[in-house]
Amino acid sequence: MADLRQLKRRLEAVGVLPPGSHNDHERWRDCLTKLCSKYLGPESPQPKEDSEKLPLPTEVQLAALQVRVEERRKRVLDLDLDLSTLSKREEKMRRVAEDDPLLQKRSREDFVQCLRQVRGRIGSIQEEEFNDGLDLSGFVEKLKGVLDEVT
């Protein structure tokens, strides 16, 4: 704090009024701008806007691009792994579908519609069972009836 008081006295001695608070960054910036213009003259270059700033050094740009390349490479590897997993899953489902005679007789649209009906009826049966005190034996019988109706 002694250094801050000494700095304020020195600024006042040269005719620049320092801000009252030590953490008022905007006023300190203005104070420094006034001090610079007092010693360097009013023709000192004004701070440039973001669009007029000098480009970053080549090393920094290169490092940033290398980071982006590495991120993209990781993303491609992740997507490739996901694609591989999904392809294996699809192939397994195709083999299961080929082995099941029921699935061979129906079109995909019929099978999807059948599954949606089962899902809807199971949901309604579950709601009834939860309201009836969770008697699971009745639930299983109703589920078998729904599956028989659908197939």
pLDDT tens, residue by residue, 129-138 = 555 555 566 6
pLDDT at 66: 94
Place of tokens 């489902």: 93
Q: Is the dihedral of CA 143, 148, 149, 151 positive or negative?
A: positive
Torsion over CA: 137, 139, 144, 149 (sign) = positive
What pLDDT is attached to residue 1?
61
Residue 148 structure tokens: 């028989």
Give CA–CA dist 120/44, Å, rounded.
Answer: 76
pLDDT for res 81? 93
- % of the chain exceeding 70 in pLDDT: 72
Cα–Cα distance measured from residue 91 to residue 21, given in angstroms and rounded to the nearest whole number: 70
CA neighbours within 13 Å on the CB side: how many for 78? 6
User: Which pLDDT tens digit goes with each residue over 16-60?
Assistant: 888 877 788 888 888 888 888 877 776 545 555 655 677 888 888
Q: Is the pLDDT reported for residue 125 higher than 70?
A: no
- Selected residue with higher pLDDT from 10 and 132: 10
Q: What is the pTM of this model?
A: 0.36
Tell me how long the chain is.
Answer: 151
DSSP letter for 78, please. H
3 vs 18: CA distance, rounded Å: 13
